[in-house]
Amino acid sequence: MSNEDASSEDLTILAAVESLERGTAPFRAPRGDEAAETLARLYTEALGLLPYGLEPVAPAPEIRKRLMALVQGDETQPAAAPTGPAAAAPPRSSQEVRPPRLASAVPPFAAARRPPPRRWPLALAATLCIGLVGLSLWLSLQLGQQRQTIARLEKELVDERTRAEESVAQALRLQASELDLREKFALVTSPAVLVSPMRPAGSPPLQPGAGGVLFVASDHQHWYLSLKGMEPAAAGKVYKLWFVADAGKVSGGSFTARPGEPIELSSKTMPAGTREAVITLEDDARTLIPAGPEILRSSPPVEIG
């Protein structure tokens, strides 16, 4: 990583921490700068993990009850919100009541002009009623279709949003992986990096086809281990990495292997005075003392660059 990248990362970190002072919204890097956006997201998530280090505290059950009561009381409001349009229903229904009133106005008018055949107004009213019933049916059919369309579009919208979120998450995972790769690349190509081949141990070696390379940065802290040809550990067994240091053999972590797949391990810390690294096959991943057979052992390091 260049100095410019490093200072850009520093600015992103400080901005993310300082954004904590300003409110609830997570920090966001300037749009368009994907690397900064990814870094901002990663550091924001790291900050968000801090409370997980606290002992969780169970809230009193009344709090949940009170909350759910408040929420369920409020839940009817949105259901009532759509009644906003429906709240206009009373006037509409009063309008629906109007036709009879209009119809009732017909007889005097008709009576004034000529002696009516009394069936006229009835026929007119019946025609109007039939027309209104037909119109209502047609409108309700249209409404039903529109509701179906809206439901379908809403479902599509939810699906699209889910897909978009999954894509964003995938892109973030890829960017995080890219950052990892860049860091590893920066390590293995940095000046004065120490390179130790990992070779099969024991005579005869338990896994003659296994091997790898251990890169240690010039600060003797940051390391990256790449392994190939490791056989899958038997059931109940696990591989463990040990650093042979001033304080004795210190565990560097445990891992498993899959057929044909390379193994990559890295960390930004290494025990003080580490002279070599060993990989053993153990029964217990939590053991603090190597007890199993050695599989690989590092050769003396060579300084590159």
Partner 1 sequence: MNDAALLRLVADRQPAALGVLYDRYSPTLLALGKRILGSLADAEEVLQEVFLYVWNHAGRYDPARSSVSTWLVLVARSRAIDRLRTHKVVERTHETASQGTPVTHASPDGVEAVFVHERRERVQREMEKLPPEQKQVLEMAFYQGLSQSEIAARADVPLGTVKTRTLLAMKKLRGALRDEVRQLL
Closer of 29 and 295 to partner 1 (Cβ): 29
Closer of 68 and 304 to partner 1 (Cβ): 68
Alpha-carbon distance of 35 to 29, in angstroms, equals 9
Task: Based on the shown chain and the rule CB under 8 A, indicate whether residue 305 belongs to the binding site for partner 1.
Answer: no
Burial of 218 (0-12, 13-18, 19+ CB in 10 A): middle
Burial of 13 (0-12, 13-18, 19+ CB in 10 A): middle
Per rule CB under 8 A, count of chain residues that contact partner 1: 60
Shortest Å distance, C-beta 286 to partner 1:
12
Task: Based on the shown chain and the rule CB under 8 A, indicate whether residue 161 belongs to the binding site for partner 1.
Answer: yes
DSSP letter, residue 110: H
Task: Based on the shown chain and the rule CB under 8 A, indicate whether residue 44 belongs to the binding site for partner 1.
Answer: yes
Closer of 190 and 211 to partner 1 (Cβ): 190
Task: Based on the shown chain and the rule CB under 8 A, indicate whether residue 245 belongs to the binding site for partner 1.
Answer: no
CA distances (Å), 147 to each of 87, 135, 160, in order? 19, 18, 20
Task: Based on the shown chain and the rule CB under 8 A, indicate whether residue 14 belongs to the binding site for partner 1.
Answer: yes
Task: Based on the shown chain and the rule CB under 8 A, indicate whether residue 260 belongs to the binding site for partner 1.
Answer: no
Burial of 209 (0-12, 13-18, 19+ CB in 10 A): exposed
Closer of 27 and 243 to partner 1 (Cβ): 27
Shortest Å distance, C-beta 118 to partner 1:
56
- Give the largest CA-CA distance in the chain: 126
Task: Based on the shown chain and the rule CB under 8 A, indicate whether residue 178 belongs to the binding site for partner 1.
Answer: no
Closer of 12 and 207 to partner 1 (Cβ): 12
Task: Based on the shown chain and the rule CB under 8 A, indicate whether residue 13 belongs to the binding site for partner 1.
Answer: yes
Alpha-carbon distance of 250 to 275, in angstroms, equals 11
Query: C-alpha dihedral over 118, 122, 124, 129, to 10 degrees?
Result: 180
Shortest Å distance, C-beta 77 to partner 1:
8
- b/e 59-98 (16+ beta carbons within 10 angstroms → b): eeeeeeeeeeeeeeeeeeeeeeeeeeeeeeeeeeeeeeee
| Piece in contact with partner 1 (CB under 8 A), picked from 45-53, 95-103, 105-113, 290-298 | 45-53
Selected binder of partner 1 within 127, 145, 162, 189 (CB under 8 A)? 162
Of 47-86, binders to partner 1 (CB under 8 A) are: 47-60, 63-64, 66-68, 70-72, 74-75, 78-79
| Piece in contact with partner 1 (CB under 8 A), picked from 134-142, 158-166, 184-192, 295-303 | 158-166
What is the chain's length? Answer: 305
Instruction: Report which residue type is found at 145.
Output: Q
Task: Based on the shown chain and the rule CB under 8 A, indicate whether residue 256 belongs to the binding site for partner 1.
Answer: no
Lookup: tokens for 291: 């007890």
| Chain residues in the site for partner 1 (CB under 8 A) | 9-10, 13-14, 16-18, 20-21, 23-28, 41-60, 63-64, 66-68, 70-72, 74-75, 78-79, 158, 161-162, 165, 168-169, 172-173, 176, 180, 267-269
